[in-house]
Structure 1
Amino acid sequence: MSAADRIVGAVTDHSRLAIAVMLVLTVIVGAGAGAVEQESSLDQFQSDTPEADASEYIDANFASGPENVTRVQIIVRGENVLSKGSLVETLEYQQRLRNDPRLNATLFEDPTGGTPPTVGVANLLAQSALQQEIGGELQRTAAEFEQLNETVQVERQALRQNATELRRFSDDVNATSAALRGGLTELQEDPNASATAVFEETNAATPIDLDAGDAATFEQAAAQLRNASTEAERAQAYELGTRGVLEDELTRVQEWAQTLDQRRSDLQAQAQQLEELGAQLQSLRQELEGVRSASLDRQIEAIDSLEEDELKTLIQTVLGGDGGQASEQALRFMPAGEYYETGSTQADATMLLVTQQTEREVAPGGVASQELIDAQLAMQDLGSGSDLEFLVFGSGIITEEINQSMSDSITLVGPLALLFVVVALAVGYRDLLDIVLGVLGIAAVLVWTFGFMGWAGIDFNQIFIAVPVLLIGLSIDYAIHIFMRHREERFEMGNGALRQSMRVALGGVGIALALVTATTVIGFLSNLVSPVPPIREFGIVSSFGIVAAFLVFGVLTPALKVEIDEFLEARGIDRKKRAIGTGGGRLSQTLKIGSLGAKWSAPVVIVIALLISAGGVYGATQVDTSFSQEDFLAEEPSDWTQNLPEPFAPGEYNAKKNLEYVNERFQRQDAQASILIRGDVAADGTLSSIARAQRDVASRDVTQRLSNGQASIQTPLTVLNDTRERNATVAAIVSDADTDGDGIPDENLTAVYDALFETNPQNAGAVLARGDDGEYTAARLVVDLKGTASGVETTEQLRDVAADVEGDGLTAIATGQTILFEIIQDQLLDTVLESLLITLVSVFGFLMIVYRVTDGSATLGFVTLVPVALSVSWILGTMYLFGIPFNVLTGMITSLTVGLGVAYSIHISERYNQELERHDSAWAALDRSVTGTGGALLGSAATTVGGFGTLSIALLPSLQQFGIITGLTIIYAFLASVLVLPSLLVVWTRVIGPAEKLDVPPSADDGPGDTDTVGTAE
């Protein structure tokens, strides 16, 4: 007894033990299913390449703005988004964003104030309006300050001069008063002295010129003094002789002093006013510097206060290119190319940029956190109900739609695939118990598969949506073959041979199923040569699932069936059912078309198949390859799906449509590429090389241009030029280093770079890398790409630029998401070719060895594989005709075609070989093979095609294409096995033998309707 017979006997004779063992294994393996996580990041598709290493180097060594932030593009659409009402509405929308608790915690708050959380054209126009308003007030205040300051200085000088003159005059008055007092004392002491003489003598000696009236007053005072008898009378005489004489002068001093006091008071008031103007100037200067951080209320007020003509002038200035740095920044928010005319006051769309803080970096195509997803969904909600349309495009929205599309696709496709299989089985089995066993078997296979994924730590990603459908189709294929063969054997053996018929069925079909399992596993495992990690994981998981299907339907379901059937038959319930295609009629006649063709002219059938295949081969060379974010974004669901009840009704999907709109009209935030230059980038002449590369990049078709025609690129030279225009020190250093006067520093670049980093560290760090020792190790050119630029064009053009930079100790490489995706796309094509070659060679060698050992003819393995090779060319030609490219799913179609298709050929070849031994006529053997096994193949093909066909209603385009192509693959494999393989088997029999059986015609009782002698089917 062979090992296979012992295993089959164990299943049928010890069915309860087999059931127990399989259930325990199901529980153990299935326990890992809870650990399966979902992964939708496109980063998982990247492999180790020089370009990927360069991208990682850039992330680690160049400044890319604040850490752990992501930017959301919100497209604002309306009749005219530059009207006053639209601008104000856009600013009010930003207020709602900043105030909403669902997302304001995620908004990035730059401590330096350099990066506002929300910014767009409305903000820049408002800021420009504020700059004009504040700038005008600043000019007026500065002029008033200068004028008043000049007046104060003049008045202060005049006041000082007048005070000096007053002091001098006051001293003269005091000196004259003292002299007059002395003269009076002299007259008192000398009665004979002449008052007139003393006055004239005093007048001649003092600085004040006294007149005759003053002389008369003096003489009167002298007389009073000589006649005074009391001290009071003498004091009165002295008062008259001094102050009385100098009365006019003293009055002048008093008035003069009062005038000076008033002027001092006025000057103090002017000084106070001047101080207030100075403070106002300082405040205005600070307000002007803080315009970028002006509150949204202030910005709304600034826009709202403008007259229509003022607003139009402002727009023409800022968006016309005359607004300096504000203009360059504003134009980045406007549609590019033909969609906006520079300086126009009319536009139907503009862009708003929202910066969010994240816990970890979100790479382009990466997965956003749930907090980020919720925040960006809130952005969509806050835009509803407005006269303007706000299209939110960010990593959170992309992640949400990809995750939702995977969930919705599984919710839609899974039940529908199962329903289709149940209906197909109901038609084929016409037995509820067999249907239930089949469904339970499928469930067990899925539990095993997802449990294995959990234990192996393999995440569920977009392409794994195909795995359940794939396993459902293949599992039911196993069930149909075993159950149909069991039914055939029961009709032939009679009523009492339940376990015996199952033993014969498993023994007969088991070899074929083992071969099918092995070849299918080979086909799936050929994907291990792919450098794309998810494709390798898909091959591993699918291979395990196929093995699980073989075990479940080779052990568990047969054991369950014999136990249940035995239990029911013991109670008088008949469990015998006829196998598909074995009862005669139209189906049997249809299945015999291939056999009839072989009888008519096998070589002609083969030639026709080869000619069709030649056309397929030509088409195969024309099939495109695709890998892009769009491949993973759902299409808008068909209208009929909107009428489905929950939870089957799919959600709304706008990301793909919005992405196409952004690609066509705006600069994508993640559509950038870099040319990384490594080596001694501070060597003399390096900037000249960079300048040539900069001009080259600017002239390339893939480079994004603003609406004013300027190429959107950033290089060390662009940063240097921008910086030296604003900083005289940098300008002087650049001038000294520019030996030939072309505006590009030629030598002493280390000093140039040092000055650049000191003055503009953020922008300098974005294009220059330096080590801990201060040595400059790399530079890069950052290129904004057109959204419509293809990966092929981008990669070719930027690689050409990089190649021109290399030399003189410098290396250059082009990298970026678009280029990395193009590399993945190339790897997909390599996967197609390599996996096809490996699968064909491996399956060919495997079948030849197996058939040589089991049947003594290795050539039968070759014949069995030929129809599969033909179907590969047919499916590739169909992909060309339908315009379906190779992507992460359809890229596996060649190995799948071989792995799945060879099953149909194996069943026919194995059955033919068995029937050839049982009958004298090769034609009878052929008829019985295509009607018996062909019927089972038709049933399995119908269910498998139907299962895969349900993928055509999936929401992801790549899944739809995969479902269509895989369904056609099954059809082609079935047609090749029942139409072409019979002719190949006839030729093989004639060449290899036994050729004499071809000369024996089938007997009358060998017809397909003779159920007693129909033989076994697989």
Structure 2
Amino acid sequence: MSVPERLANGIATHTRIVLVVLLLSTAVVGAGMPRVEDDSSLSQFEGDSPEAKALERSVGNDSKEGYFTSEQEKNTTRVQLITRGDNVLTRESLISSLEFQQELRANESINSTLAENQSIIGVENLVAVTTIRNERAAELNETSSQLQDGLNQTVGLQRQYEQLNESYENGAINQSQYQTQSAELEAQFDSVFETATEELDENQTAQYESAVQQARTIESQRYEIRSQTENPSESTEYQQLSEELEGVYRAGTAGVLEAEYAALQSEEQPPLDEQIAALEELSDDEYERILKQTLSSDGSDDDFAIALMPTSYDPGTVQADARMTLLSQSTTSDATGGMGGGAVSERIVDSQLDIRQLAETQEQDYLIFGGGVMTDEIERSMGDSLAIVGPLALLFVVIALLIAYRDLLDIVLGIVGIVAVLVWTFGFMGWAGIAFNQMFVAVPVLLIGLSIDYAIHVFMRHREQREETGTTDSVRGSMSIALAGVGVALVWVTATTVIGFLSNLVSPIGPIREFGIVSSVGIVAALIVFGALIPAIKIEGDEFLEKHGFDRQKRAFGTGDGRFSDALAVGSVAARKAPIIVLIGALVLSAGGVYGATQVDTSFQQEDFIADTPPEWTNNLPGSLQPGEYQVKNDLDYVNDRFQREDSQAQILVEGDVANPDVLEEIDTARSDAADSDVAYTLATGEADVQDPLSTMESVAARNESFNESFTAADTDDDGVPDENVSALYDQLFEIDGEAASQVLHQTDGGEYEATRLVIAVQGSASSSELTEEMRDIAGGIEDGSDGRWSTIATGDPIVFYIVEQDLLDTVLESLLITLVAVFAFLTVAYRLTGSSATLGIVTLLPVAFSVSWILGTMYLIGMPFNVLTGMITSLTIGLGVAYSIHVSDRYSLELERQGNVWSALRTTVTGTGGALLGSAATTVGGFGTLAFAILPALQQFGIITALTITYAFLSSVVVLPALLVLWTRYFGPDVSFDPSGTAHPATAASDGGVPPAGDDRTTDGDEG
């Protein structure tokens, strides 16, 4: 007795032991299911490319800070709130937006997420703050002028007082006159002081009083020098006193108001009610003047208000149909946050939905765009998609199984087996710590398809055995023989499919490697469940029912005479009449498919998982099945066309001796090249948005006189780029504006500068390949010299995602090649070791290669790209295609040995095994083809391409493979009969696993022609 026969006999004989062991194993493994976590972020796909590592060094990740990670940046995510209308720059529109901000802050769920500083900033705030600061600046200037006048009068009075003293000492006036005039002067001193300090507080008054006393003392000393010297200006002491007096003037004016002047430069906004009042109190002319002042470009890098306007806006005008407000939310209590590849917490999602809901109650039209809103739509579209396709898929599966099985118990057992396989698979994921992501949507599809395939082959072979006359009709005996006959094919299918999916281990993308491992585990689980657990349950169930008088003998699907048999026999008829034509036709289609495969695009972006507006037919669904509203995709297009998306930025990272003046020269050239790039985002000013150490220093120099002097002094050749004392210049930059400096320069704890970067805003709609090529060219222009003093690399989310696209494409090609070679080697060795020709392995694999080319060519024709789901289609095609082909080849080899006639063996194969394949294919195609009705685009694409894959795999196995088997038999196979009359007799089952019964005198010496 062979090994397969012993195993099959053991399973059929010891069913209760098998049940106990496997049910306990299922419970243990399934206990890991609750441990499975979700991870929908795209960052997990980034891999270990140099660009991904450079981005991590630059901005860090959840556990590590990068060169340029500020606490505010690390712990915040932003919402873009865009106001739309005929003219959103009217006073009424801005006031309405400020009132909307008050409502946002009054909402506790929203306000609790807002960042501490500058949590909401928009054009409305900038105009209101400019108004308030202009008013306060005018008041401060008036007060300062009043203080200066007071000091001037004080100095003048002191001069009179000195003259009075001189007159008294010279005897020009008597003591009575002196006292009277002295009292009058002191009274004037007091009056001037009181007038000057009317608007001052106690501390300011004391500070001003000190300045007044110092001014009087200095002026007294100066008067004495003037009275004793003909040319006092030549006196060193007089000059020193004059300089001291100037200092006193500064201390008594700007010094007294220093805190107030500093407050004007503070980033803190006045309360919203003050902002609203400030706008309401302006005259129309004043409002228009301040609006133009705020939205006029002065050519500096600080045109923040302009960055909040659409690219179509004409700076300085008072008309615009859109403007943007940025709302910053804190993610300090969340695991992750952000709009890029990172996941968004439920707290942030809920708050952004509340913002959108509140915006819908406003008179103005608001567009809310943020990571939370996007995440919500992705998750809702997945749920709505499953709510629509779930019932349809279940209906198709049940109908297909009803047609194939026509037996309630077998249908239930098939579904139970599928559930058990999924429990094993997801339980393994939980114990292994593998998170569920977008790719794993494909795993249930694959496993359900293979499970149905395994179940139908076992059940149908068992039915064939029970129909066979002259053999045992017991349930256990029939199942033992059926498992022995089909078991080898199931093992081979499992082995080759596992090989196919484990080929994904060569991928540099972690989730793809995990996908290969999980799929392989699930496939092995399918073999265990449908090769042992379900057969054991079926034996016990059938025996129980037969003891109670129920007939459990059922006809196998596709056998006997009928329309299904005739349809399935098309492959065998074509193989008998024109096998060469069938092969040529397959080759021609495959050649076209290969060409199309080279043209298939690759896509990796979050937009792939954003739902379109649901089609109108969904409005006719029952209320519980109707999908919600989806607007993020339209909003995303609007933002990409008119504004700068926060996550659309490229970076040029420079590491090494970045304090070298040559680096600044190279950066100056690079930023000019970046500004001229076709992919750079252009502000309303017409300028590109590029941030780098030079632009930062220029900005600080424009508002800080001392830094401007240092910056100018360091530029000895007047080309606008410092060429000496760069490190000292960086030090001063950090002292004056550390926040701005830290965004473009990294300083070590030892005070050395080891990294800098250019941050280039890019168009959200730019091609990832074009963008990457442009940025790499720019980075390549920053030469590192002959001694490698610094290195440069282009990075950023768009570039890293492009690398993932290329890795995804490489994975598709590499895994396809590895799988085909490995499966070819396995099949040739396996067939050789089992007594068949090794060439049968080649023949079995050819239809699979054909179907792969067909599906890739189809993707090109319908414009479907590779993404994280469709990129797995080659693994699916090989996995299902090899399964179908092995079943056909193995059954044909078995029937050929048993019947000795090519045509009879072929017809038995395509109607018996082909019937099982048809049931499996129809169930899987019907069930998962319903994904085409999903709301989520990625699921739609995956459903369509999976259905086509299964269809191609089935057709290639029952139409193309029979022709190949005939040609193989003619030139490489055993010496059997080609007598056409062999097809006239009804085919019987291989009741004994392929060994002719004792006494069978069937000849194998037939007509070869």
What TM-score does the superposition give when structure 2 sets the normalisation length?
0.87
Cα distance in structure 2, aligned partners of 1:954 and 1:397: 20
- 2:537 is aligned to 560
Cα distance in structure 2, aligned partners of 1:11 and 1:837: 37
Cα distance in structure 2, aligned partners of 1:646 and 1:574: 44
Aligned residue identity for 2:35? A
Aligned residue identity for 1:469? V
Q: Deviations over 1:785-833 (max 9, x none)?
A: 1111121112111111111112222211011111110000000010011
| Cα distance, 1:25–1:165 mapped onto 2, change above 3 Å | same
Residue 308 (structure 1) shift: 3.4
Q: Contact 1:911–1:929 (CA<8 Å) still a contact in 2?
A: yes
- 2:427 is aligned to 451
Q: Aligned pair 1:886/2:893, yes or no?
A: no
Q: Contact 1:406–1:465 (CA<8 Å) still a contact in 2?
A: no
Q: Contact 1:488–1:1016 (CA<8 Å) still a contact in 2?
A: no
- Select which of 71, 77, 87 maps to 1:70: 77
- 1:48 is aligned to 48
Aligned residue identity for 2:408? L
- 1:636 is aligned to 613
Report the secondary structure of 2:78's partner residue: strand
- 1:350 is aligned to 323
Residue 284 (structure 1) shift: 5.6
Report the secondary structure of 1:61's partner residue: coil
Cα distance in structure 2, aligned partners of 1:930 and 1:426: 21
- 2:116 is aligned to 109
Aligned residue identity for 1:87? L
Q: Aligned pair 1:701/2:678, yes or no?
A: yes
Cα distance in structure 2, aligned partners of 1:392 and 1:572: 68
Q: Deviations over 1:600-657 (max 9, x none)?
A: 2111111111111111111111000110111232333344445656765544433333
Aligned residue identity for 1:971? T
- 2:662 is aligned to 685
- Select which of 622, 631, 644 maps to 1:654: 631
**Count of residues paired in the alignment:** 926
Q: Deviations over 1:516-554 (max 9, x none)?
A: 111111111111111111111111111111111111111
* Deviates further, 282-291 or 619-628: 282-291
Q: How well do the aligned residues superpose, as a CA RMSD in angstroms?
A: 2.7
Residue 836 (structure 1) shift: 0.3
| Cα distance, 1:46–1:727 mapped onto 2, change above 3 Å | same
Q: Contact 2:336–2:343 (CA<8 Å) still a contact in 1?
A: no
Q: Deviations over 1:173-229 (max 9, x none)?
A: 98xxxxxxxxxxxxxxxxxxxxxxxxxxxxxxxxxxxxxxxxxxxxxxxxxxxxxxx
Residue 158 (structure 1) shift: 4.9
| Cα distance, 1:604–1:708 mapped onto 2, change above 3 Å | same
Q: Deviations over 1:35-83 (max 9, x none)?
A: 1111111111111121122112212222446242222222222332212
Residue 332 (structure 1) shift: 0.9
- 2:134 is aligned to 132
- 1:988 is aligned to 968
- 1:716 is aligned to 693
Cα distance in structure 1, aligned partners of 2:992 and 2:561: 13
- Select which of 359, 374, 382 maps to 1:383: 359
Residue 489 (structure 1) shift: 1.6
- 1:904 is aligned to 884
- 2:224 is aligned to none
Unpaired runs of 5+ in structure 1?
Answer: 111-115, 175-252
Cα distance in structure 1, aligned partners of 2:437 and 2:983: 56
Residue 306 (structure 1) shift: 2.6
- Select which of 541, 561, 567 maps to 1:584: 561
Quote the sequence identity (%): 52
Q: Contact 1:477–1:943 (CA<8 Å) still a contact in 2?
A: no
Q: Deviations over 1:925-976 (max 9, x none)?
A: 1111111111111110001112221322333322221221111011001111
- 1:439 is aligned to 415
- Select which of 356, 370, 392 maps to 2:368: 392
Q: Which protein is bigger by CA-based radius of gyration?
A: 1
Residue 289 (structure 1) shift: 3.4
| Cα distance, 1:572–1:823 mapped onto 2, change above 3 Å | same
* Deviates further, 853-862 or 132-141: 132-141
Alignment of 1:919-958 (within 5 A): 919-958=899-938
Q: Aligned pair 1:81/2:88, yes or no?
A: yes
Report the secondary structure of 2:32's partner residue: helix
Aligned residue identity for 2:902? A
- 1:426 is aligned to 402
* Deviates further, 298-307 or 845-854: 298-307
Report the secondary structure of 2:363's partner residue: coil
Cα distance in structure 1, aligned partners of 2:345 and 2:984: 72
Residue 258 (structure 1) shift: 7.6
Residue 584 (structure 1) shift: 1.6
- 1:766 is aligned to 743
| Cα distance, 1:578–1:406 mapped onto 2, change above 3 Å | same
Cα distance in structure 2, aligned partners of 1:869 and 1:731: 69
- 1:333 is aligned to 308
* Deviates further, 755-764 or 641-650: 641-650
Q: Contact 1:678–1:778 (CA<8 Å) still a contact in 2?
A: yes
Report the secondary structure of 2:865's partner residue: coil
Cα distance in structure 1, aligned partners of 2:717 and 2:551: 102
- Select which of 615, 620, 626 maps to 2:592: 615
- 2:897 is aligned to 917
Cα distance in structure 1, aligned partners of 2:404 and 2:945: 24
- 1:10 is aligned to 10
Residue 442 (structure 1) shift: 1.1
- 1:807 is aligned to 784
- 2:244 is aligned to none
| Cα distance, 1:812–1:349 mapped onto 2, change above 3 Å | same
- Select which of 457, 460, 471 maps to 1:484: 460
Cα distance in structure 2, aligned partners of 1:172 and 1:104: 76
Q: Deviations over 1:838-862 (max 9, x none)?
A: 1100111111111111132111110
- 1:469 is aligned to 445
- 1:605 is aligned to 582
- Select which of 254, 279, 283 maps to 1:307: 283
Aligned residue identity for 2:498? V
Aligned residue identity for 2:102? Q
Aligned residue identity for 2:328? T
| Cα distance, 1:661–1:854 mapped onto 2, change above 3 Å | same
Report the secondary structure of 2:793's partner residue: strand
Q: Contact 1:47–1:533 (CA<8 Å) still a contact in 2?
A: yes
- 1:624 is aligned to 601
Report the secondary structure of 1:276's partner residue: coil
| Cα distance, 1:755–1:266 mapped onto 2, change above 3 Å | closer
Aligned residue identity for 1:52? A
Q: Contact 1:532–1:827 (CA<8 Å) still a contact in 2?
A: yes
Q: Contact 1:414–1:468 (CA<8 Å) still a contact in 2?
A: no
Alignment of 1:405-420 (within 5 A): 405-420=381-396
Alignment of 1:174-253 (within 5 A): none
| Cα distance, 1:290–1:529 mapped onto 2, change above 3 Å | closer
Q: Contact 1:527–1:892 (CA<8 Å) still a contact in 2?
A: no
Report the secondary structure of 2:86's partner residue: coil
| Cα distance, 1:143–1:105 mapped onto 2, change above 3 Å | same
Q: Contact 1:672–1:783 (CA<8 Å) still a contact in 2?
A: yes
Q: Deviations over 1:233-278 (max 9, x none)?
A: xxxxxxxxxxxxxxxxxxxx7xx98898677546523321211245
- 1:529 is aligned to 506
Residue 896 (structure 1) shift: 1.8
Q: Deviations over 1:530-587 (max 9, x none)?
A: 1111111111111111111111111111111121111111111112222211132222
| Cα distance, 1:996–1:462 mapped onto 2, change above 3 Å | closer
Q: Aligned pair 1:273/2:184, yes or no?
A: no
| Cα distance, 1:285–1:803 mapped onto 2, change above 3 Å | closer
| Cα distance, 1:153–1:1013 mapped onto 2, change above 3 Å | closer
| Cα distance, 1:278–1:860 mapped onto 2, change above 3 Å | same
Q: Contact 1:46–1:820 (CA<8 Å) still a contact in 2?
A: yes
Residue 295 (structure 1) shift: 1.2
Cα distance in structure 1, aligned partners of 2:262 and 2:57: 40
What TM-score does the superposition give when structure 1 sets the normalisation length?
0.86
